[in-house]
């Protein structure tokens, strides 16, 4: 065996087993979230104390599950699991038994033995939950084996079963990244194929433009990180410059003191059916409010300010408690050696509070000097 062959064999072993590991984790994530949906539906239909929880069931689940350190189980995510189950009620028939522990198999069998009634609320008639119906599941089995849960979250947004089936076919034939799948849906590839005289040629041209996902792309998936309980900041692909600036900014803010308490980097929030990430979140003990910081390695544009204000509105509505003051946003924008800092407040009307936070937060000059200094050091 020559050295080149040795190198090739090691490389193949790494890439092959890495892909197998990613696929295995993705199957477990998909199955877990399907089961969450099943259990929620069962409780809603047959829970002895379901009336006690009512419309607040998912929020109460979120509050309780957070105590068990289970990441990613927000009310919005649990609602998505519920919808996933409704769209794909027969996934369990595609699952190999080795994926399930004996205890879990018994638990599932106990759940399925109590046949669930069709769920009609917000569910098309051809998607009613009929657990005992037997059908050819080869297509679904392939989908379960080859598709990440993030892909499924895009598929369940589609109301039309035929439209969803088209994108399932596209996934099986091209193995797109989630971004590529979103792009195919956003550019109406289903509708364009339907309107084409030569549908086969149209589909072939669409497939040729799709870049298959790599194992490394899948590992960046935030469901993957939540499931394995890995640090959340690693779920977002940042440039080296942005990462370095944020690392130093975190230290700079904390060294200022003044009551800053660090909460999160790349804080994930779900608005509608889309995820967004806040670069940095602090809580200020003196001001009793959240401070959101967005850093853009780019010149200022109105879209960045609008984005930050959207995050502030989200925090005001969903995160702020009754004893908190409205959140504050700081937008840091850099264009080579020029720096701009914008402070944004969400619905602040109390002038006393405005003057108070202006004193307690870092001054614009301090932040401008920080950006200029860091850029100079990083470019040296």
Q: Are 73 and 57 in contact (CB under 8 A)?
A: no
**Beta-ladder partners of 291:** 282, 328
What lies within 8 Å, CB to CB, of 349 at 6+ separation is none
Calculate the CA 41 to chain-centre distance.
23
The pLDDT tens digits for 52-88 are 787 789 988 988 888 887 887 888 899 999 999 999 9
**Beta-ladder partners of 271:** 274
Look at strands 289-296 and 274-284 and give their pairing. Answer: antiparallel
Look up residue 212 and give its DSSP letter: B
Q: Are 265 and 233 in contact (CB under 8 A)?
A: yes
> pLDDT at residue 279 above 80?
yes
What lies within 8 Å, CB to CB, of 328 at 6+ separation is 284, 287, 289, 290, 291, 292, 312, 343, 344, 345, 346, 357, 361
The pLDDT tens digits for 111-157 are 665 666 655 544 443 333 333 444 446 788 888 888 899 999 999 99
Q: What is the full DSSP assignment across 248-302?
A: HHHHHHHHH-TTEEEEEEEEEEEETTEEEEEEEEEEETTTTEEEEEEEESS---H
Rounded to two decimals, the pTM is 0.71
> pLDDT at residue 172 above 80?
yes
Where in the sequence of the chain do the CATH 3.40.1350 domains occur? Answer: 232-379
The pLDDT tens digits for 32-49 are 999 999 889 988 888 778
> pLDDT at residue 351 above 70?
no
Q: Are 164 and 87 in contact (CB under 8 A)?
A: yes
Euclidean distance between CA atoms 9 and 15, whole angstroms: 10
Fold for 232-379, please state it. Answer: Trna Endonuclease; Chain: A, domain 1 (3.40.1350)
In terms of DSSP H, where are the helices of the chain?
3-46, 50-53, 57-67, 75-87, 102-112, 138-146, 149-155, 161-174, 178-186, 189-195, 199-208, 215-219, 222-227, 240-256, 302-318, 351-360, 364-379
Euclidean distance between CA atoms 332 and 367, whole angstroms: 8
What lies within 8 Å, CB to CB, of 339 at 6+ separation is 332, 333, 367, 368, 371, 372
């Amino acid at each position: 065996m020559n050295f080149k062959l040795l190198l090739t064999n090691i490389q193949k072993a790494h890439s092959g087993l890495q892909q197998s590991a990613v696929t295995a984790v993705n199957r477990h994530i998909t199955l877990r979230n399907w089961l969450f949906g099943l259990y929620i539906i069962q409780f809603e239909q047959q829970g002895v104390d379901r009336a006690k929880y009512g419309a607040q069931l998912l929020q109460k689940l979120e509050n309780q599950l957070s105590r068990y350190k289970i990441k990613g189980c927000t009310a919005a995510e649990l609602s998505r699991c519920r919808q996933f189950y409704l769209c794909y009620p027969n996934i369990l028939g595609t699952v190999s038994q080795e994926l399930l522990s004996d205890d879990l198999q018994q638990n599932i069998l106990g759940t399925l033995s109590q046949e669930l009634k069709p769920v009609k609320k917000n569910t098309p008639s051809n998607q009613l939950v009929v657990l005992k119906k037997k059908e050819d599941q080869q297509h679904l089995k392939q989908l379960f084996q080859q598709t990440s849960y993030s892909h499924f979250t895009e598929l369940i947004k589609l109301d039309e079963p035929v439209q969803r089936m088209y994108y399932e076919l596209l996934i099986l034939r091209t193995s797109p990244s989630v971004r590529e799948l979103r792009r195919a849906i956003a550019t109406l590839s289903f509708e364009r194929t339907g309107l084409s005289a030569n549908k086969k040629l149209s589909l072939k041209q669409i497939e040729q433009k799709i870049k298959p996902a790599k194992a490394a792309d899948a590992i960046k998936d935030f469901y993957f990180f939540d499931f394995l309980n890995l640090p959340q900041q690693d779920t977002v692909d940042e440039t080296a410059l942005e990462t370095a600036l944020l690392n130093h900014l975190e230290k700079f803010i904390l060294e200022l003191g003044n009551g800053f308490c660090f909460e999160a980097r790349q804080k994930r929030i779900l608005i509608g059916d889309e995820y967004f990430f806040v670069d940095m979140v602090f809580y200020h003990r003196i001001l009793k409010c959240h401070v959101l910081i967005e850093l853009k390695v780019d010149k200022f544009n109105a879209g960045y300010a609008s984005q930050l204000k959207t995050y502030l509105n989200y925090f005001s509505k969903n995160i702020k408690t009754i004893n908190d003051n409205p959140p504050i946003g700081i937008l840091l924008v850099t264009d080579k050696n020029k720096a701009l800092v914008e402070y944004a407040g969400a619905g602040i009307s109390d002038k006393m509070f405005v003057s108070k936070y202006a004193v307690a937060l870092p001054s614009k000059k301090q932040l401008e000097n920080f950006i200029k200094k860091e850029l100079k050091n990083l470019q040296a």
